[in-house]
């Protein structure tokens, strides 16, 4: 049975939970961001993980077969991979069939639809199982107007893909709420949609409507309300700049936060392209963002320092903060540096 995710009366997604996270044969951690995101932000819904022998990436969850996961209460296999092009590798097909045979639905955020896997839709129909594709945009997206909307907006932007834009937006939205600020996290990718239960998969929207989708995602709101919009790609990425620019123009952010992973030297999935500096990203975002919000400003930087020691991470962030004249923080490490970033964003 092929299905879109069903929805509650408030239009949020109803997905079959809990999940078994599928990592396939992934060897690049950046491509496992769906699994990591669900583990870190919806951990109570994740029972375990399934990976092929060639995989070198793990989410750190118990390894189990689909049958074992089903016996422990899992209701769906979630494809935890977001690879270049959103493809379903032929090496995964047998595992997807095993999941159906074990009694699990399959949830995917890939560009390639589950029904395109040979025989999978027929097998699902025979077993009474669902194939659920998350990366399906709404049908009524308007063309962008550029009209200034009420309310406040924050957009996370990046020096590259898969380096913390979603985590930063989630952490900032949570921090805003903890301070009594009326704020919503606005998901723009498949993982964020699975976490939040709503959103628009921006990279699946026809290009002419992408900025309109961002406008629709962050509509008119109360003057003191914040929409914290999850960024996608990078304005300076040779493959994915288009969706980044559409988000920037359509969301009309009052504030943006630059996300970076110190130590990364080459853009993900694009050999030969180095990582731009924070200064370059800030300059490009200000230049292009002023087209729809002349008052746009940079609130600071968010670093993914998970590969560094705590001492080295905080020392680097302190140095860069002084050099750039902006707060620099790791939202997962938190602390006073993150408090300063939140304060700067709220103005």
As given in the structure block, the two tokens for residue 138 are 């709404």
Beta bridge partners of 183: 226
Q: How far apart are CA 136 and CA 213, in angstroms?
A: 12
Give the phi and the psi of residue 282 in degrees, each rounded to 5: -60, -45
Buried residues in 59-97 as b, exposed as e (16+ CB within 10 A): bebeebebebbbeeebbbbbbbbbbeebebeeebeebbb
Q: Where are the domains of the chain?
A: 2-133, 152-346
What mean pLDDT comes out for the span 224-250?
A: 97
Report pLDDT for 4.
Answer: 41
pLDDT at 5 over 50: no
What mean pLDDT comes out for the span 218-242?
A: 97
As given in the structure block, the two tokens for residue 198 are 């709503």
Report pLDDT for 14.
Answer: 76
Mean pLDDT of the chain: 94
Q: What is the pLDDT of residues 161-209, one digit of tens each?
A: 999 999 999 999 999 999 999 999 999 999 999 999 889 999 999 999 9
pLDDT at 333 over 60: yes
Element holding 280 (H helix, E strand): helix 278-289
Q: What is the pLDDT of residues 284-323, one digit of tens each?
A: 999 999 999 999 999 999 999 999 999 999 999 999 999 9
Contact 328/303 with Cβ under 8 angstroms?
A: yes
Q: What is the pLDDT of residues 22-56, one digit of tens each?
A: 999 999 998 999 999 999 999 999 999 999 999 99
Q: Residue 11: pLDDT band by 50, 70, 90 thresholds? A: very low
The yes-or-no answer to whether 2-133 and 152-346 have a common fold is: yes
Report pLDDT for 3.
Answer: 44
92: which DSSP letter? G
Q: How far apart are CA 3 and CA 6, in angstroms?
A: 8
Q: What is the pLDDT of residues 208-223, one digit of tens each?
A: 999 999 999 999 999 9
Most confident among 30-34, 223-227, 265-269 (mean pLDDT): 223-227
pLDDT at 6 over 80: no
Give the length of the chain.
347
Q: Which of 116, 96, 121 is nearest to 106 (CA)?
A: 96
Of the options 3.40.50.300, 3.30.413.10, 3.40.50.2000, 3.40.50.720, the CATH number for the domain spanning 2-133: 3.40.50.720
Q: Residue 13: pLDDT band by 50, 70, 90 thresholds? A: low
Q: Which of 15, 11, 88 is nearest to 45 (CA)?
A: 15
Give the phi and the psi of residue 24 in degrees, each rounded to 5: 60, -135
Q: What is the CA radius of gyration of the chain?
A: 20
CA distances from 153 to 104, 140, 203, 220 (A): 39, 23, 20, 10
Q: What is the pLDDT of residues 115-136, one digit of tens each?
A: 999 999 999 999 999 999 999 9
Report pLDDT for 84.
Answer: 83
CATH homologous superfamily of 152-346: P-loop containing nucleotide triphosphate hydrolases (3.40.50.300)
Dihedral in degrees, nearest 10, Cα atoms 331, 334, 335, 338:
20
């Amino acid at each position: 049975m092929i299905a879109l995710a069903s929805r509650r009366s408030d239009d949020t997604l109803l997905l079959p939970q809990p999940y078994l996270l599928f990592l396939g044969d992934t060897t690049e951690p950046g491509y496992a961001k769906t699994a990591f995101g669900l583990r870190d932000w919806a951990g109570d819904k994740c029972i375990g993980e399934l990976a092929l022998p060639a995989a070198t990436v793990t989410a750190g969850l118990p390894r189990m077969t689909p049958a074992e996961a089903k016996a422990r209460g899992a209701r769906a296999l979630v494809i935890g991979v977001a690879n270049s092009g959103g493809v379903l590798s032929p090496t995964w097909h047998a595992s997807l069939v095993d999941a159906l045979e074990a009694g699990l639905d399959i949830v995917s955020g890939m560009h390639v639809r589950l029904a395109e896997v040979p025989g999978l839709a027929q097998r699902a129909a025979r077993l009474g199982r669902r194939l659920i594709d998350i990366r399906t945009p709404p049908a009524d997206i308007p063309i962008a107007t550029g009209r200034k909307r009420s309310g406040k907006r924050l957009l996370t932007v990046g020096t590259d893909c898969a380096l913390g834009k979603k985590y930063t937006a989630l952490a900032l939205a949570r921090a805003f709420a903890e301070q009594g600020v009326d704020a919503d996290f606005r998901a723009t990718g498949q993982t964020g949609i699975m976490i939040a239960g709503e959103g628009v998969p921006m990279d699946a929207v026809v290009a002419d409507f992408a900025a309109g989708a961002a406008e629709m995602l962050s509509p008119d709101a109360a003057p003191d309300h914040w929409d914290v919009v999850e960024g996608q790609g990078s304005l300076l990425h040779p493959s994915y700049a288009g969706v980044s620019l559409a988000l920037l123009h359509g969301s009309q952010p009052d504030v943006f936060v630059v996300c970076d992973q110190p130590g990364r030297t080459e853009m993900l999935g694009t050999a030969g392209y180095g990582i731009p500096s924070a200064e370059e990203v800030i300059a490009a975002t200000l230049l292009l963002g002023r087209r729809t919000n002349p008052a746009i400003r940079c609130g600071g930087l968010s670093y993914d320092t998970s590969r560094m020691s705590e001492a080295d991470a905080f020392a680097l962030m302190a140095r860069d903060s002084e050099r750039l004249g902006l707060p620099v923080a790791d939202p997962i490490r938190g602390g006073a540096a993150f408090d300063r970033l939140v304060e700067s964003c709220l103005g």
